Structure 1
Amino acid sequence: MKTNKMAAIFSNQHEYTELRPLTDERSLSTLYFAGKYRIMDFSLSSIVNAGINNVYTLINEEKVRSYLDHLGGGKEWGLDTIGSYKYLDFYQKIMQAQAAGEGYFNDVINFLETSNYPYTVFIENKMVANLDLQSVLHFHQENNNKITAVFKKVGTDNVAADDRMFILDDKNTIVSCQQIIDAQKQNSYNLSLNIYIANTSWLISELKRAQRSDASINIGKRLANLAAKYRTSAYEYTGYLHNIHDIPSYYKANMDMIDKNKRDLLLYGNQKIITRIRNEVGTYFSNDSKVRDSMLATGCKIKGEVDSSIISRRVDIDHDSKVYKSVIMANCNLGKNSHIEYAILDKNVVVDENVTIKGTPERPIVVKKGAVVSKDLINE
């Protein structure tokens, strides 16, 4: 057995109707974030920064294209090298196997047995964070745990109804686990980050036991319950985190990147956030353009004004246009004298000349992918 090595299960299970129309044609994992990144980059970077190159990925088959378009061959993450191994599986396939009375965890069990690594990390897809999994592994080993859960103390604005929270004693031992929707409302929660490190042999035994009892296919939920059952000690993450589950949370997480302290904590720490490389020209700024407190990716043409906004690749902002407190995804074209404020524009949106799109901080306007906006859109 390869000592001190981990395999990874990367689960892309979470999807929320509250994120539509942004997720009509893509998974939550592949939503743009901070201009050039995708949500999945954060979990995947945590995996590869920990030296893990054997990854079992679960995704929804109806949105597989957006995932594969971004991941490609895995070159940027080092998942195309000799000795690396990527396995792609679908939730629908697991559900069908369970309905047919077959061994629905057989593929993941085979992956873990074949990897022959002593530890396995399970990580889900909706938390924007920069986590050092090697530190979690050291904590796991020092506490002689079978399983270690990762949590963070968060406020009420950073949880979703289907999230799980831990009840902890004064030594951060997990006493119980429950869904937020079932919990009594409080000022803060010990939010489960849906990240677990387990002894692989123990995890295989638990997955086989779950399969025999026809338990839920939701591995994350089962691991949360097992962490509480075995009263394991939990690892507290203290870095930047935002929980993506609806339009306001997605918008707020992007706007957080305007704050240098939050941006540095997430993007520019010791753990590098890796994304797919695009070889293209830098962004062009005309002499009369004005840009303040914003993040801009490559390939843009900026002739107007950008203030406190996130601009993705190849965005064209024409003369006398203004973008304020907005998220503009790739390949958008904003016509002359357009005004965009408190908005999220998906890919390939065209805004005609003299058009105003204006939302509010609490209710940003979302313009769906490929739309042509020829008249004003204003939230009162």
Structure 2
Amino acid sequence: MNQKMLGIIDATTYKPEIEELTFHRSLAAVPFASRYRLIDFVLSNMVNSDIESVAIFPKYQYRSLMDHLGSGKQWDLNRKKDGLFFFPSPHLHNEYDEFGSFRQFSDHIDFFLRSTQEYAVITNSYTVCNIDYKKVLAYHLENGCDITEVRKDGASLQMFIMSTKLLLNLIHNKEQTGFKTLADVVNENKNQLNICHYEFYGYAAVIDSISSYYKHSMDMLKPEIWHEIFLKSRPILTKAKDEPPTKYGKEAVVKNSLIANGCKIEGHVENSIIFRAVHIGKDTVVKNSVIMQKSQIGDGCLLDHVIADKDVKVEAETIVKGSVLLPQILRKRTIQGALMNS
């Protein structure tokens, strides 16, 4: 039996709860865990499950997403047959905002018609976990399911497996059935399909708000969670960067933090996630914070419960404080001065 799977990543979703990090990028391209993007976890799960054909359906601000993924080489998806495909929305109609929109898929129906894989995995673009879809497919086949939904603690992770034939039927018949999205089919099930639920017991984080982004970023500092996500046997792949090792000054202190390559650390970093090419100045304290790529933190600063987006500049002697429930956001390419203290 042909048990090959087709990967479908719905990257159309817009979440106002996290818009401060998505002004210049799609949700799928939001940086996470010091050197990754959210899409890396979703795409790596598919590749590690022997999925060789993956279609990404983006809608908003997807230039940075396409730049990050390129031809798919880092995921071994730059292939002559199958590989990585981008299908941007041809319209900005509201019908595309719902996860698993059949209208979105029908605009690119030729892709599905040409696909030879018997089964399809459909996921969102912003769930962080390490899951083997081959195990989900085995469960799907063993239980004679029409659609299998992956859940965590009873809540949907927006991951589904079904036959490609059934998916095509749902797309073709959307006007007759009235089903606009995959969720409509699963929740209403007027066709009396056999809907199964696969419970995932590993760590799973749905990143759809500032609070969830901050909480799950801090989770990455816990060794038991880190080792559950970043497995040697099922690596999380990302775009390679040729950067030197991080340089630590004589007075630098680092405690319980993730520090990416290319940084210069001269101050005190604690319980924080520092992305590539960040500079932390002398006598500066960064605690409980996320500092993204190429941000420059001056001398004598204090940052506590802060999320600093890419290319942020914090001038010397500046104090910026947030809280666990309301971290302070410094938007991309902004300058934070001592007179703007929070």
Q: Is TM (by shorter chain) over 0.5?
A: yes
- After the TM superposition, which of the residue ranges 204-213 and 119-128 deviates more from structure 2? 204-213
Question: Are the structure 2 counterparts of residues 227 and 89 from structure 1 closer, same or farther at C-alpha, using a change threshold of 3 Å?
Answer: farther
Instruction: Tell me the SS of whatever aligns to 2:112.
Output: helix
CA deviations 1:60-107 (Å, max 9, x no partner) are: 1x4121111111111101110232333322335384999xxxx86444
Aligned to 1:344: 307
1:297 maps to 2:297: no
Aligned to 1:23: 22
1 CA distance for matches of 2:67 and 2:187?
Answer: 31
Question: Are the structure 2 counterparts of residues 67 and 76 from structure 1 closer, same or farther at C-alpha, using a change threshold of 3 Å?
Answer: same
* One-letter amino acid of the structure 1 residue matched with residue 133 of structure 2: L
8 Å CA contact retained: 2:72, 2:83: no
2 CA distance for matches of 1:81 and 1:311?
Answer: 34
CA deviations 1:93-141 (Å, max 9, x no partner) are: 384999xxxx864444322221111111111112111111111011111
Q: How does 1:73-222 map to 2 (within 5 A)?
A: 73-93=71-91, 95=93, 105-153=105-153, 190-213=154-177, 215-216=179-180, 218-222=181-185
8 Å CA contact retained: 1:95, 1:104: no
1 CA distance for matches of 2:104 and 2:19?
Answer: 30
8 Å CA contact retained: 2:146, 2:194: no
Q: How does 1:259-274 map to 2 (within 5 A)?
A: 259-268=222-231, 270-274=233-237
8 Å CA contact retained: 1:123, 1:194: yes
Instruction: Identify which of 237, 241, 244 aligns with 2:207.
Output: 244
1:357 maps to 2:320: yes
- Among the aligned pairs, what percent are the same residue? 31
Question: Are the structure 2 counterparts of residues 82 and 91 from structure 1 closer, same or farther at C-alpha, using a change threshold of 3 Å?
Answer: closer
Pairwise CA distance, 1:279: 1.1
8 Å CA contact retained: 1:5, 1:52: yes
Pairwise CA distance, 1:333: 0.5
* One-letter amino acid of the structure 2 residue matched with residue 26 of structure 1: R
Question: Are the structure 2 counterparts of residues 294 and 373 from structure 1 closer, same or farther at C-alpha, using a change threshold of 3 Å?
Answer: same
1 CA distance for matches of 2:232 and 2:192?
Answer: 35
- After the TM superposition, which of the residue ranges 319-328 and 15-24 deviates more from structure 2? 15-24
Pairwise CA distance, 1:208: 1.1
2 CA distance for matches of 1:23 and 1:331?
Answer: 18
2 CA distance for matches of 1:369 and 1:228?
Answer: 47
1 CA distance for matches of 2:104 and 2:221?
Answer: 44
Instruction: Tell me the SS of whatever aligns to 1:44.
Output: helix
Aligned pairs, how many? 337
Question: Are the structure 2 counterparts of residues 12 and 97 from structure 1 closer, same or farther at C-alpha, using a change threshold of 3 Å?
Answer: closer
Q: How does 1:248-259 map to 2 (within 5 A)?
A: 248-259=211-222
Question: Are the structure 2 counterparts of residues 295 and 224 from structure 1 closer, same or farther at C-alpha, using a change threshold of 3 Å?
Answer: farther
Aligned to 1:180: none
CA deviations 1:178-210 (Å, max 9, x no partner) are: xxxxxxxxxxxx111111110111221122111
Aligned to 1:325: 288
1:47 maps to 2:10: no
1 CA distance for matches of 2:312 and 2:17?
Answer: 21
CA RMSD, 1 decimal: 2.3
Pairwise CA distance, 1:378: 5.7
Question: Are the structure 2 counterparts of residues 96 and 260 from structure 1 closer, same or farther at C-alpha, using a change threshold of 3 Å?
Answer: closer
Q: Which segments of structure 1 move beyond 3 Å, counting only runs of 4 or more? A: 91-98, 103-109, 211-215, 218-229, 376-379
Instruction: Tell me the SS of whatever aligns to 1:90.
Output: coil
1:372 maps to 2:335: yes
2 CA distance for matches of 1:75 and 1:222?
Answer: 35
Instruction: Tell me the SS of whatever aligns to 1:366.
Output: strand
- After the TM superposition, which of the residue ranges 330-339 and 225-234 deviates more from structure 2? 225-234
- After the TM superposition, which of the residue ranges 73-82 and 296-305 deviates more from structure 2? 73-82
Instruction: Tell me the SS of whatever aligns to 1:63.
Output: coil
CA deviations 1:253-277 (Å, max 9, x no partner) are: 1000111101111123632111111
8 Å CA contact retained: 1:105, 1:208: no
Instruction: Tell me the SS of whatever aligns to 1:245.
Output: coil
Structure 1's unaligned 5+ residue stretches are 154-189
Instruction: Tell me the SS of whatever aligns to 2:91.
Output: helix
Question: Are the structure 2 counterparts of residues 238 and 227 from structure 1 closer, same or farther at C-alpha, using a change threshold of 3 Å?
Answer: farther
Structure 2's unaligned 5+ residue stretches are 97-102
Instruction: Tell me the SS of whatever aligns to 1:235.
Output: strand
